[in-house]
């Protein structure tokens, strides 16, 4: 199965790329998506399983609402309130949320710190 994760912006995308492998397609809405942007996202996602990972703020919730209409079967991934969006979420928490969504096979786990062993 190949998957697509939709995030808001390029900083969210680069943050997520650090913890998932290259087989995961990450698409950006670049703010509140227009109907044309939603259609482009739908085409790019194709028949892949879609995951929505937007910020836990008012604009993120608005974007998630719009994306749910276009991707009614999409899985939802949430970041915690208080983090500065997906881009400001600690990698450990991103990994926890991806695991919660059942995406372990796509996660790039950090190497253990040899200083801690």
What pLDDT digit, counting tens, does each position of 64-103 carry?
Answer: 999 999 999 999 999 888 888 899 999 999 999 999 999 9
Q: Is 80 exceeded by the pLDDT of residue 112?
A: no
93 in Cβ contact with 80 (< 8 Å): yes
**pLDDT value of position 114:** 64
- For 23, residues 6+ apart whose C-beta sits below 8 A from its C-beta are 2, 106
**pLDDT value of position 116:** 59
**pLDDT value of position 117:** 56
46 in Cβ contact with 2 (< 8 Å): no
Q: What's the token pair of residue 113?
A: 């710190």
């Amino acid at each position: 199965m190949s998957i697509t994760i939709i995030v808001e912006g390029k900083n969210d995308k680069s943050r997520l790329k650090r913890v998932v492998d290259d087989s995961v397609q990450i698409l950006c809405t670049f703010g509140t998506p227009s109907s044309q942007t939603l259609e482009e996202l739908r085409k790019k996602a194709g028949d892949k399983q879609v995951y929505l990972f937007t910020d836990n703020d008012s604009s993120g919730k608005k974007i998630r609402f719009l994306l749910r209409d276009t991707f009614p079967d999409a899985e939802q991934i949430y970041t915690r309130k208080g983090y500065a969006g997906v881009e400001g979420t600690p990698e450990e928490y991103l990994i926890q949320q991806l695991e919660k969504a059942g995406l372990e096979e796509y996660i790039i786990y950090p190497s253990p710190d040899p200083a801690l062993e």
